[in-house]
Amino acid sequence: MKIKNIKAWPIVMPLEEPYTIAYETINTATNIFIQIEINQGIIGYGCSAPDKPITGETPESVLQLIDNVVHPMIKGLDPLRHSFIIEKLKNHLNDKPATLAGIDMALYDILGKVCNLPLWKLLGGFRDRMKTSVTIGILPVDNTIKRAKEWLDRGFKSLKIKGGLDVEADIERILKVREVVGKKVELRFDANQGYTVEQSLQFINQTRKAKLELIEQPTPRGQPEMLGSVTQKAPIPVMADESLMSLLDAFRLARKDLVDMVNIKLMKVGGIAEALQINSVARSAGLEAMVGCMDEATLAISAGLHFALARPNVRYADLDGNIGLINDPTRNAVILRDGILYPSSQAGLGCEFCE
C-alpha cells in the first residue's frame, strides 16, 4: 500500500454574514482541500484553514508547501504509517500547523476507509454525538439579542458571545442576552485577547448574575502570566485558546496552573494526532477540554468532531465554523440537528464532495 498522488486546491467560501471579533472582521474563508490517493484506489480527504494572525499561514503558503515539500516527501510511503509520516513532515512543517492538520486528516480518512469504520470509533468511540455552541460576533446589544433568538429558534442551546473591544458594552450585552434567553441556555464569552487583567475581572464580577459557563482567552496570548492572574481570581472557569498552539504550550499551561480549561483547535495544533496528545496532557492535569475551530469547511469540522467523540474529557464543542459558509463542497460530512452534531455513518471522516 503506497501513496500514489497528492493534490491540493483552494476554495473561497463567502460568509452569509460577516462577523467581528476583537482583532478583525471576517467576510470570507479560503480553505485548502487536500486529496491523497493510494495505489489501491482509496482516496483520503483533508482540509486546511490557514489564518495568518493565528497560524501564520496563508492559502498560498499552504499550496506551496504541499507542492514543494509534502508531495515529494510522502509520495510512495505507506499511508497507514501515520506517525512516521507526520513526524517526518514536522521537520519542515513544525510552525505550519494548518498545513500539517490537512495532511493528518487525509491520512486518518484513509485509515478509516481501509478499516471500513468511522474514525471516531477507531480512535476510541467514547460518545456518538455532541452539543455545540454557536457564535455571535461583536454586535450592538439589540442585534446581539436578535441573533440569540434566531439561534435558539434553530434549536441551539449554547451560545458563545464575542467581545474584547469595549468591556462596558460587553457587560451590557451579556446581561441583556441572559435576560432574554432565560436560565437554561448556556452562555460562554470569548474576549479574543482583548482585555487586561483588570478588565477581565471587572467583566467577570459585573456579569456574575448572568452565570456564564466560562470565559475564553481574555488576555493576550504572549503574556501567560496575565492569563494566570485572571484564573487565580476568577470564580468561573478560564479557558486558553490562542495561548494553546502546541503540546509544549499545553504542558506549560498545565504545569503553572494558568487555566482551568483548554480549547483544542486542529488548525492551531497540527491535526488530530497532536490534539490527542495535548488532550492527554490536559486530562492528566485535571483540565477540561473543548474542541474548537476556525472558519472551516464541514470536512474539517468533521475531523474535530471525530476527535472529540473519542475522548471523555473533551466535554465541550464549539464546532460552528462551517455554518453560513457559501460554496462548502463538504457540507454533508456531519449532521447538525437542534444544536447537536452527529458524525456520518460512513468510513473515515465521512466526507463526500457535493456538487
Whether residue 267 contacts residue 293, with contact meaning beta carbons closer than 8 Å, is answered with yes
- Cα 176 to Cα 140, 143, 181, 342: the distances in Å are 11, 11, 9, 32
Segment holding 48, helix H or strand E: strand 43-48
Per-residue pLDDT of the chain (355 residues; tens, 9 = 90+): 999 999 999 999 999 988 888 777 888 999 999 999 999 999 999 999 999 999 999 999 999 999 999 999 999 999 999 999 999 999 999 899 999 999 999 999 999 999 999 999 999 999 999 999 999 999 999 999 999 999 999 999 999 999 999 999 999 999 999 999 999 999 999 999 999 999 999 999 999 999 999 999 999 999 999 999 999 999 999 999 999 999 999 999 999 999 999 999 999 999 999 999 999 999 999 999 999 999 999 999 999 999 999 999 999 999 999 999 999 999 999 999 999 999 999 999 999 886 5
- With cell 474539517, the residue in question is 300
Are 110 and 77 a contacting pair, CB within 8 Å? no
209-233 burial, b if ≥16 CB within 10 A, otherwise e? ebebbbbbbbbebeebebbbbbbee
In the prediction, which pLDDT does 23 show? 72
Q: Which domains does the chain have, with CATH numbers?
A: 3-116 (3.30.390.10), 121-343 (3.20.20.120)
Residue 21 has a pLDDT of: 84
Rounded CA separation 77/3 (Å): 6
Chain length of the chain: 355
Task: Tell me the CA distances in angstroms from 272 to 73, 302, 349, one per residue in order.
Answer: 20, 11, 12
pLDDT at 354: 65
Secondary structure class of 96 (helix, strand, coil): coil
Q: What is the pLDDT of residue 94?
A: 86
Complete DSSP assignment for 44-92: EEEEE---HHHHS--HHHHHHHIIIIIHHHHTTS-TT-HHHHHHHHHHH
With a threshold of 0.85, does the pTM exceed it? yes
- pLDDT given at position 355: 52
